[in-house]
């Protein structure tokens, strides 16, 4: 029995370690508590799915679990917004712990809705792990380096389609943010106006990250594989969009933790050693840590094209096991596919600004008022980010097709 629950005990150990970090490390308390909560949820779900009585308990309760789970997610969103509204001027100080708490609660709701699916995946994962233990030759026809270099070229060739499905959304989001930041407000202290402005910007960020971005990426995969175009010209959300959305949520949370715990200390260390290179050191440190994280999870990321194409047979276990057999080409190609666009944009910005910090939109103040050029800069950087993600997803789609061909 101990062997059966060995993985659960390991996850519980991680949850306890991060909980201790939250208690004894005040500087990182919020993020450590978030990780403790996430690993605690994962341990609880893993223990339940390992329990022999789980299939009997779940059978016949699928609809109930879906209703309860989505209700918890809705309560997390509504509760987080409600607390910030009731807090008034103090909302800015408590925003981070409120958002992190809502993240853990919302994740527990989503895991509740996924219990029936995860139960079926457990059985398939055992078969995948057994197959992984059998000796098998590496896939010679998939060249990760070549595919990684080809992915940005594929995005450039498909740029008109990418602008078609994403351009109007990018302009609308950038315009909304620009309007909120430049909207006239009374002079003097105006806490309610500042709170409304922050909540408006937060709403735009949520819509952009968890509705628009996944919709565009799903439409991009379908076009590259099947030649399918969106019904309404621009990308619109559907069921697959939400499969992408919660994974973006988890990824950004994980990258945020890395930024607080790894990137920031590393940047400070490099900056103190060579102050004249502090700006470029900070950028390179951030990119380096994030690229390494993406490379580490490249196998699991093979699930994204399968979700966009509605392939229910290629599950998490298949992605992890088959993707691992494509290393080291898979993570190296993944890095090559996502680096070119931000690197080129950063170099152009560096040259244009004569080696100073790249221009970016600023909050309006007495010394700086937003102009139309700031809005253009924001739109360009949003398109660069979108092209980067589309390039990475193009590479993952080719890797997914190679892994699936091998399985077939």
pLDDT in tens, 288-329: 778 888 888 888 888 899 888 888 778 777 788 788 888 888
Q: 266 lies in a domain?
A: yes
Question: What confidence tens digit (pLDDT) does each residue in 117-158 have?
Answer: 777 777 666 565 555 545 544 444 678 888 989 999 999 999
What's the pTM value of the predicted model, to 2 decimals? Answer: 0.69
Q: 104 lies in a domain?
A: no
Output 155-158 pairs: Cβ under 8 A, ≥24 positions apart.
155/341, 155/387, 155/390, 155/391, 155/394, 158/220, 158/223, 158/224, 158/390
Q: 250 lies in a domain?
A: yes
Question: What confidence tens digit (pLDDT) does each residue in 21-55 have?
Answer: 777 766 667 777 777 888 888 888 888 888 878 88
- Residue 229's pLDDT band (cuts 50, 70, 90): confident
Q: 274 lies in a domain?
A: yes
Q: 46 lies in a domain?
A: no
Q: 4 lies in a domain?
A: no
Provide the number of structural domains found in the chain. 1
Q: 90 lies in a domain?
A: no
The whole-number average pLDDT for the span 355-359 is: 48
Q: Which domain holds residue 186?
A: 143-408
Q: 219 lies in a domain?
A: yes
């Amino acid at each position: 029995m101990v062997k059966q629950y060995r993985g659960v005990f390991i996850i519980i150990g991680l949850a306890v370690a991060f909980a201790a970090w939250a208690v004894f490390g005040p500087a990182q308390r919020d993020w450590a508590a978030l990780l403790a909560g996430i690993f605690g949820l994962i341990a609880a779900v893993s223990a339940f799915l390992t329990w022999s009585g789980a299939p009997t308990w779940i059978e016949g309760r699928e609809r109930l679990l879906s209703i309860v789970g989505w209700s918890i997610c809705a309560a997390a969103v509504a509760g987080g917004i409600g607390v910030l509204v009731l807090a008034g001027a103090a909302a800015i100080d408590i925003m981070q712990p409120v958002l992190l708490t809502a993240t853990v609660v919302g994740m527990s709701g989503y895991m509740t809705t996924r219990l029936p699916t995860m139960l079926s995946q457990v059985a398939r994962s055992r078969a995948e792990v057994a197959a992984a233990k059998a000796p098998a030759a590496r896939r010679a026809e998939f060249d990760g380096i070549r595919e990684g270099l080809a992915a940005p070229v594929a995005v450039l060739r498909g740029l008109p389609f990418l602008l078609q499905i994403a351009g109007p959304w990018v302009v609308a989001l950038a315009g909304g943010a620009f309007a909120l930041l430049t909207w006239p407000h009374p002079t003097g202290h105006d806490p309610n106006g500042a709170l409304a402005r922050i909540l408006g910007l937060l709403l735009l960020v949520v819509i952009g990250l968890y509705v628009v971005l996944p919709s565009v990426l799903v439409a991009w995969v379908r076009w590259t594989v099947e030649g399918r175009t969106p019904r309404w010209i621009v990308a619109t959300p559907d069921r697959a969009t939400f499969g992408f959305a919660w994974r973006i949520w988890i990824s950004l949370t994980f990258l945020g933790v890395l930024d607080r715990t790894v990137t920031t200390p590393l940047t400070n260390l490099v900056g103190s050693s060579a102050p004249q290179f502090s700006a470029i050191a900070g950028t390179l440190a951030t990119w380096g840590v994030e690229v390494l994280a993406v490379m580490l999870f490249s196998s699991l990321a093979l699930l994204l094209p399968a979700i966009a194409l509605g392939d229910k047979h290629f599950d998490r276990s298949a992605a992890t096991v088959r993707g691992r057999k494509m290393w080291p080409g898979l993570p190296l190609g993944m890095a090559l596919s996502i680096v070119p666009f931000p690197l080129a944009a950063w170099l152009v910005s560096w040259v244009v600004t004569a080696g100073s910090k790249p221009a970016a939109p600023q909050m309006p103040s007495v010394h700086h008022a937003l102009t139309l050029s700031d809005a253009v800069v924001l739109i360009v950087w949003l398109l660069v980010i979108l092209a980067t993600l589309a390039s990475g997803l193009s590479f993952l789609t080719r890797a997914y097709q190679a892994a699936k061909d091998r399985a077939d």
